[in-house]
Structure 1
Amino acid sequence: MKKCKICGSVTTQIIKTKNQKKYHKCPTCSYIFLDEIFYVDEVREKQHYDKHDNNLESLGYVKMFEDLIEEFVMPYKKEIKSAFDFGCGEGKVLPILLQREGIVCDGYDLFYFPKKVYKDKKYNLVVSTEVFEHLQNPLEVLQELLLHVEKNGYLLLMTAFRPADDEEFLEWWYIRDITHIGFFNLQTFEYLAAKLGLVIIKHNFKNKVLFQKREV
């Protein structure tokens, strides 16, 4: 059995009969991850992302970010002067929308904007939307991102919270994406908060969670 990539506990295996895809489920933090033999390579991953129409002309995509900003950023705007979007995508839509609200925002994307502009910088807000489900080592990435969050700053993550029931999970639309390899729920984020010195300020029970970084 494989160890959990979040907490190191021994996982149990669940299998989707239709395609024999294997997933590893953690009994401690509730994280589920796809077995590595089913990962796609970076070429196929990039080809998959290139099909997305994620730009300012995509009204639904823009509305998703406008709603995110309204609910999870604007209530804390007085404390947020600088932001960083990790995994900003080809269109850099979220940085543009945040800048319209007076928040200076850097963007990084492994495939489209690979220059690490965040190096040696800290921000009041670090955002990562629809990224963490793609990561092979989410804990390592999260720990790195937190190095760039100011004390009492915020970390905002957006990724669909997985169903609790195994059978429901195996029929869940979110796992059909060939680039989705890791799946979280609120219990996973609560574990991460306790482990990394974070406090969950707000979540929507569905796909968004806002942490505040607290340091002694």
Structure 2
Amino acid sequence: MQRGPLAGREYWHCPNCQLIHVPQRFLLNTAAEKAVYDLHENNPDDLGYKTFLSRLFTPLTAQLPVASQGLDFGCGPTPVLADMFRNAGFGCATFDIFYDNQPATLQQQYDFIVSTEVVEHLAAPAKVFQQLLACLKPNALLGIMTQRWDTFERFKQWTYRNDPTHICFFHEQTFQWLAQKFGLQLTIYPRDVVIFQQSSSG
């Protein structure tokens, strides 16, 4: 008999936007969820981790004006990506609901927002997406990194879904749906990265 947080877990699929999500009753409580994150090792001296973050950092910085000010949403206990932006000459604030929970940070507007390996953990992704869009200045960029699913056959064998904190799984069409719904420009990159651009009118 299968035991643990994944036992009997269901995955619901939205045919409109292609998002696959886990129903509320299968979600971890806050303490159990944080306990998983506490096991993560995001070492600022780990060149491999920085290379991983560069999948988003490199294409996004290529589009940023000098002295742009940004936000690393879901920065974790060690804001390695924010430090990469700062070292490149950009300002970068941080927010994390578990490790850097400063609500005032989400009341400001930014030239760019980045969120790496975060959206797959969100119980209410549409609400958070709208919240982040409200924090973008006109023409600002929103960069997201998360693994994308492509076919149901592969999803069934996908180890990424076996993390009990992974509860939302995005398809390329999910991001296209979001771009159309909110009037955003979208660029899809390989290796799990997408970048949205806010319209000039905000």
Tell me the TM-score normalized by structure 2.
Answer: 0.91
- Residue matched to 2:193: 208
Contact 1:106 1:117 in 2 (8 A): no
Q: Secondary structure at the match of 2:64?
A: helix
How far is the alpha carbon of 1:167 from its aligned partner?
Answer: 2.8
Q: Distance in 2 between matches of 1:44 and 1:117?
A: 26
Query: Taking structure 1 as reference, are residues 80 and 160 closer, same or farther at Cα in structure 2, changes over 3 Å only?
Result: farther
Structure 1 CA distance for aligned equivalents of residues 128 and 67 of structure 2: 22
Task: Verify the 8 A CA contact 2:67 2:91 in the aligned structure 1.
Answer: no
Q: Using the TM superposition, give the Cα deviation of residue 55 of structure 1 relative to its aligned residue in structure 2, in angstroms.
A: 2.4
45, 48, 51: which is aligned to 2:36? Answer: 48
Local SS of the residue matching 1:85: strand
Matched, 1:89 2:65: no
Contact in 2 for aligned 1:186/1:205 (Cα 8 Å): no
Residue 117 of structure 1, CA deviation: 4.1
Structure 1 residue ranges, 4+ long, deviating more than 4 angstroms after superposition? none
Return the match for 1:108 from 77, 95, 104. 95
Quote the offset at 1:77 in angstroms.
Answer: 2.4
1:155 to 1:80, Cα distance in 2 relative to 1, 3 A: farther
CA contact 1:79–1:124 (8 Å) conserved in 2: no
Gaps of at least 5 residues in structure 1 are: 1-17
Alignment map for 1:29-48 (pairs within 5 Å): 29-48=17-36
Q: Residues 18-33 of structure 1 correspond to what in structure 2 (within 5 A)?
A: 19-33=7-21
What is the CA–CA distance in structure 2 between the aligned matches of 1:119 and 1:30, rounded to whole Å? 28
Contact 1:83 1:124 in 2 (8 A): yes
Structure 1 contact 22–35 (Cα < 8 Å) conserved: yes
Letter in 1 for 2:74: G
Q: For the structure 1 residues 120 and 26, does the alpha-carbon distance in structure 2 shift closer, same or farther, using more than 3 Å as the test?
A: closer
- Structure showing greater relative contact order (alpha-carbon pairs closer than 8 Å, 6 or more residues apart): 2
Of 175, 186, 196, the match for 2:172: 186
Aligned length: 196
Task: Write the distance in 2 (CA, Å) between the matches of 1:167 and 1:80.
Answer: 45
1:64 Cα deviation after fit? 1.3
**TM-aligned CA distance change 1:167 to 1:19, over 3 Å:** farther
What amino acid does structure 2 have at the position aligned with 1:190? Q
Q: What is the RMSD of the two structures over their aligned residues, measured on CA atoms? A: 1.6
Q: Percent identical across equivalent pairs?
A: 35
Q: Does 1:160 align with 2:139?
A: no
CA apart distance, 1:78: 2.1
- Deviation for aligned residue 1:114: 0.7
Amino acid at match of 2:195: L
| Partner SS, residue 25 of structure 2 | helix
Shift of residue 28 of structure 1?
Answer: 1.1
